[in-house]
Chains A and B, each alone.
Chain A
Amino acid sequence: MTEAAQQIDLTLMTVCQVNLESPGKIVLERDRNSSDGMPITLKVFYNDSKFQLELENVKLTDKQLKAVWKNEVTRILFRTIAPTARDTWQMKIVP
Chain B
Amino acid sequence: MVIKMKFTRLLLVLLTLIFTFVSNNFAQPNPSMLSKKYRLSKLKKIMLAPDQWQPFPKASERDAWLSLPQNVQKQLINRAKKYVNYTWPDLPATFFLDFVRTGNRDKYQQARDFRREALCNLVLAECVEGKGNFLDDIVNGIWVTCEESYWDVPAHLATQAQGYGLPDVAEPTVDIFASETGALLAWTAYLLGGQIDAISPILKQRIQIELEKRILTPCLERDDFGWMGFRDDNPVNNHNPWCNSNWLIVVLLNEQNKERRIAAVGKILKSLDVFIAGYPPDGGCDEGPGYWNQAAGSLFDCLDLLYTATTGSINSYDESIIQEMAKYIYRAHVSDQYFINFADASPRISIEADLAYRFGKRIGDATMMKFGAFMADLYQKRGLTFWGNIGRQLHAIFNYAELHSAIKEQPLLRDVWLENLQVVTARSEQGSAKGLYVAAKGGHNGESHNHNDVGNFIVYLDGEPMIIDVGVEAYTKKTFSAQRYEIWTMQSAYHNLPTINGVMQKDGREFSARNVNYFADDNFAELKLDIAGAYPSSKMHLI
- Where the two chains meet, the residues of A that have a C-beta atom closer than 8 Å to any C-beta of B are 1-3, 5-16, 28, 30, 32-34, 40, 42, 58, 62-65, 67-69, 73, 75, 84-95
Contact = CB atoms under 8 A, between A and B. Distances in A.
A14 B468 contact: yes
Contact of A86 (B19, B461, B472, B493): B19
A95 B435 contact: yes
Nearest to A28: B466
Contacts of B13: 92-94
B462 A9 contact: no
Interface of B: 11-20, 346-348, 435-436, 459, 461-474, 488-489, 493-502, 540-543
B181 to A, nearest CB: 24
Given A64-B346, A84-B19, A89-B17, A13 B467 contact: yes
A85 to B, nearest CB: 8
Contacts of A93: 12-15, 436, 459, 467
Contacts of B543: 1-2, 86
A56 to B, nearest CB: 9
A26 to B, nearest CB: 11
29 contacts: A1-B540, A2-B543, A5-B500, A8-B501, A9-B499, A10-B17, A11-B493, A11-B494, A11-B495, A14-B466, A15-B466, A28-B467, A32-B462, A42-B459, A42-B467, A64-B473, A65-B471, A65-B489, A68-B348, A69-B470, A75-B494, A84-B19, A90-B17, A91-B15, A92-B12, A92-B13, A92-B15, A93-B15, A95-B461
Contacts of B489: 65
Nearest to A94: B12
B464 A90 contact: no
A9 B504 CA distance: 10
A81 to B, nearest CB: 15
Given A1-B19, A1-B542, A93-B15, A11 B462 contact: no
Contacts of A40: 461-462, 464, 466
B496 A73 contact: no
Given A42-B466, A89-B16, A93-B15, 14 more contacts: A1-B543, A2-B542, A10-B497, A13-B467, A14-B466, A14-B467, A32-B464, A42-B459, A62-B474, A64-B471, A65-B470, A69-B470, A88-B19, A94-B13
Given A13-B470, A90-B14, A92-B14, A7 B501 contact: yes
B499 A8 contact: yes
A91 B541 contact: no
Nearest to B466: A42
B425 to A, nearest CB: 15
B470 A73 contact: yes
B19 A87 contact: yes
B45 to A, nearest CB: 48
B540 A10 contact: no
